[in-house]
Structures are given as structure tokens and as C-alpha cells.
Amino acid sequence: MRTTIAAAFLALAVSFPMPADEPKTSRSEFQKARAAAEANDAAAYLTHMQAAMELEHDPMNRPVYQYNLARAHALNGQVAESLTALEAAWNERIEGPMIVYADVDPAFATVRADARYARIRALFDALRIDVAHAGGSVYELTGAGCTIAASIGSDGVLVVDSGYPRTTKSLVAAIKEKTKENPRIRFIVNTHGHFDHAAANRDLGPTATIVAHPAAAEAMHRESDFLPGFPLPASPEAAQPDVLTDTSLSIPFNGEQVHVIAVPAHTEGDVVVWFEKSRVLHMGDNYFGEATTRLYPGKNPEPYYAAMERLLATVPDDAIVISGHASRVPAAKLKAAFQASHAIFTHVRDALAAGKSDEIIVRDGEAAGHPRPWIEHFIETLPK
């Protein structure tokens, strides 16, 4: 199963070009740490991860940094320090359950053999999923590693994304708090195929219908190189999608139409989910709420912006937007992010068409208030 080498927001950040003279940052140190890990230089891996952690303050990125720090300690034989970093990753909360990787990551073999590793396993047993009403029949569930939306009603339960392994018991318990009957999860809609959004399909899939984009299904069928020396296996058959859409489909459920709409961006297999009556939109990892004022349109911006424009025309400003790893926001925030992102894209597209140099495009874009990394991203992405 394909997944990010970091949290989704980090994947966005490292896609931007990094000038050779850029000062030391958490991102540059993380990249050096990754290179050291690939070169089997455990000491340098640890040195650069320690520097990255000292510089990183973004809650979106910190869990994966903590995990890599724990991994580096483990590869250097520092068991106690590795365990401390794993617990710190868990306590970051946004994507703490990623420490489940330590159960199978070869780098942690010595750590797993230590009796103290039992306290890491026990964290999952005590996991509590937080539940908040988003609108209508839809609830927002956080704590499984990604933000899950759940429609709960007389037709049963439909969830958007499933989270990490070993979180399912807590997820079902949280859903049960909102229904008098034993919750039956009838549908899972995966916003994309990344491990943190689809791995728990294996637990819920045998009794549910799984809906996803064909490209997400293809990703789930493949092994992925998650970290140096640690590939993630393809997802089991029970976790594979049953229904595929590369355009859109609607599911009548709990008294409303649940629209599954293909909007490839973060991956080629992204979908977003619009609960029409409840007025809740789940954007997956295509949007990160207050964490960024812009959207990430991926490798094919033209159809992305066209699809988003059609979608947002149907979504009222006061609807609620759920994202994969950030707090929910009113749709007006998403629309503002769309406009800001589209303005940068339009600036670069038109300037390239006019034959302007990269330097002039950056200069004029910054003068218009556009952030340089986003300008450079579109310069690299768009054909010349």
C-alpha cells in the first residue's frame, strides 16, 4: 500500500524546491536524515533527526519526526531513548497511532525485544477516540490517526476513512456512544489509499462495502517503500475496495445523498465526500484547515481547479469542512483557500504562456503577495 514518507502536510512541504543556500530548517534536516538512513548511516540519521526535532514546531509534522527520531535511536542501540520518542509521537495526538509501524519496522527489532516495549503496546489498549457533532447525522472522530467522518442513523454507519490498525476497537466504541444499537459499519469511503486513512479497512472491510478511486485501489494492491529498509506490504484482500469511481457517485444513506467526488490532487486517487443534507464536506488530505491558507492541486492543476470550482459552487459558506489531520472549519475558509491557490496558479500559468522567465515570475508573484514556495511549485509543475 502506498503511503507518505511523512505526514501528509510534510509531503506537501518537501515537494517544493529547496535552494542550495537555504538556511538550516527542520525540513532540510529531515531530508538529510532521510538520505543518511538510505545510506545506512545510523549516526548521521540520529544527528539530523535531533536537529530536525529542535527546529520543528508544526503539529502536523511532529509525529512523523518523533517516529523517525525513535527509529534513529533504535538503530543506534538506544532503547530507552527510542521508547521515549515513540511515546512522544503518540502524545503529539494528531497522528500518534503511526507508532504502530514500530510493531513491524525492522529498525525496532531490539526495542521490541525489550520488556519495556509492552508500555507502547498498551497505549493502543487505552486509546479513546474523540467524537464531535459536525452536522445532521455526521460526526467527526479524531484519534485513529486521521480524522474520520461517520454518518450514524437508521441505515447504520458510513465512515469516511478508517485510520491506522489497532484503532478499530476504540473507533467502534466511540461510534457506539452515539447509537443505542450495536453499530453496523455498512460503508467505508477511502479518501485515498494512504496507510493512515485505509489500513484499518482490514478490520472493518469484511462486513462493509468499501468505496474508493481506482488509483487508490491500485495503490492498495502494491507494496510501498515507506522508509529505508521498511516496505509496507500490499493491503489484504478484505481491505481492498469493492466499488470504484473516477468521477462521482451518490449513496443514499441516513436520509440524505452522500456524494463521493473524484478530485485527484494529494494523490492520483483522491476523492472528497459531501454529505448534502448534513452540510458536511470531508476533504481528506486535499486541505488542512487553519494549517494552510492554500490548497495543494497536485500534478494536474487544470482539472483539479475545475472540479473544485464545481464542487464549491454547491457548498454553502456555513457548511462544515473536515480535513484529514486538522480541525474542522467553515466552508468559507476552504473557499478562501481555493481562491488564494487558484490566483497563484493563474499567475504562473499566464506568465509562462507569455514567455516570462522564472525569475520574473517569482518577482512579480511575490510583489502580488504570493508566497515564493507556491510560485516555484507551479513553475516546476506546469509545462513550459
Beta bridge partners of 188: 159, 210
Identify the pLDDT of residue 63. 86
- The identity of residue 345, as a single letter, is F
Domain limits of the chain? 8-125, 130-256, 344-381
Q: CA-based Rg of the chain, rounded to a whole angstrom?
A: 21
Cell reading at 120: 507502547
CA dihedral 14, 17, 18, 21 (to 10 degrees): 180
Identify the pLDDT of residue 226. 78
Architecture of domain 130-256: 4-Layer Sandwich (3.60)
Handedness of CA 180, 186, 188, 189 (dihedral sign): negative
Contact between 379 and 352 (Cβ < 8 Å): yes
CB atoms within 10 A of CB 8: 29
Contact between 1 and 18 (Cβ < 8 Å): no
Residue linked to cell 486517487: 269
Contact between 289 and 295 (Cβ < 8 Å): no
Handedness of CA 108, 112, 114, 115 (dihedral sign): positive
* Interatomic CA distance for residues 129 and 320, integer angstroms: 20
- The identity of residue 343, as a single letter, is A
Identify the pLDDT of residue 289. 82
Identify the pLDDT of residue 153. 94
Identify the pLDDT of residue 238. 86
| CATH code of the domain occupying 8-125 | 1.25.40.10
* Interatomic CA distance for residues 313 and 270, integer angstroms: 19
Q: Which long-range contacts (C-beta less than 8 Å, at least 24 apart) are formed by 170-176?
A: 170/124, 170/127, 170/128, 170/129, 170/143, 170/144, 171/129, 171/141, 171/144, 171/200, 173/129, 174/128, 174/129, 174/130, 174/131, 174/141, 174/143, 175/131, 175/139, 175/141, 175/150
Contact between 337 and 107 (Cβ < 8 Å): no
Fold match between 8-125 and 130-256? no
Cell reading at 272: 472528497
Identify the pLDDT of residue 9. 35
Residue spans of beta strands (DSSP E) within 276-357: 280-282, 320-322, 329-330
Per-residue pLDDT of the chain (384 residues; tens, 9 = 90+): 333 333 333 343 333 444 445 578 998 999 999 999 999 999 999 999 999 999 988 887 888 899 999 999 999 999 999 999 999 999 887 889 999 999 999 999 999 999 999 999 999 999 999 999 999 999 999 999 999 999 999 999 999 999 999 999 999 999 999 987 777 899 999 999 999 999 999 999 889 999 999 999 999 998 887 788 888 888 888 889 999 999 999 999 999 999 999 999 889 999 999 999 999 999 999 998 877 777 878 778 888 999 999 999 999 999 999 999 988 999 999 999 999 999 999 999 999 999 999 999 999 999 999 999 889 989 988 887
203 CA to centre of own chain: 20
Identify the pLDDT of residue 227. 83
Identify the pLDDT of residue 22. 58
Contact between 273 and 260 (Cβ < 8 Å): yes
